[in-house]
Amino acid sequence: MEHLTDEEWEDAGFTRAQFENRWRARLERDRFSPKTGSPAPDFILEVLTSEGKRSGELFQLSSLFGRPIGLVFGSYTWPPFREKAVRLIEISKELEDQAEFCCVYIKEAHPLDGWVLPDNTLEGIEVDSPNTKEERAAIAATCMLRYNFPFRMVLDSMTDEAEEKYRSEPDRLYVIDAEGKIAWKSGLGPFYFDVEGWYEALKKEV
């Protein structure tokens, strides 16, 4: 993005200085993300049905320990997450007999009351930041029905419990080994949302 013109920055809805300040803040926050080789932070979150509706069923990440886990974080208003959705599905189907997969639906990256992206406007993806679990689940449902994710998706809490533990805003990928430790993690999205690196790391664990 360092090569963007002033006009392109204006179209993005951010100035260069604003973006750089935001990126520095994210890098500082990332210092507290789980380290490779450390125990994977546990969480208990509500499972969404295949139609994206709230199930009332709780899922605990540590219940999957004993098998490698491909852990995904993202939201519908984040274009890179949508762009990589098909590849995430392909990988999960290829390795579904050897690994577990879980996607945590986190807070919206680009709601109407935040940084609005032209790509979202063009696609008609225009939602406000959810204030309740029901509102967050409704947006997640749209995402799930569009891509027909075959793996479990859980809804992050309104206090962003899982996002805080994994420092995953706006999207991120982790691999957890069979012992429940962080085997691999991507860098910060969007630049380092490395799906192919995630795939290779998962193959090493299965």
Q: What is the pLDDT of residue 116?
A: 86
Q: What is the pLDDT of residue 104?
A: 97
Q: Strands across the sheet with 44-48, in order?
A: 54-60, 44-48, 152-155, 100-105, 69-74, 172-176, 182-185
Q: What is the pLDDT of residue 23?
A: 67
What mean pLDDT comes out for the span 57-68? 97
Q: What is the pLDDT of residue 141?
A: 93
What mean pLDDT comes out for the span 198-205? 98
| pLDDT tens per residue, range 163-185 | 999 999 899 999 999 999 999 99
pLDDT, mean over the chain: 90
What mean pLDDT comes out for the span 64-78? 96
| pLDDT tens per residue, range 131-159 | 999 999 999 999 999 999 999 999 999 99
Q: How confident is residue 29, by pLDDT bands cut at 50, 70 and 90? A: confident
Q: Is the peptide bond before 130 cis (omega within 30 degrees of 0)?
A: no
| pLDDT tens per residue, range 39-48 | 999 999 999 9
The answer to whether 106 touches 160, Cβ cutoff 8 Å, is yes
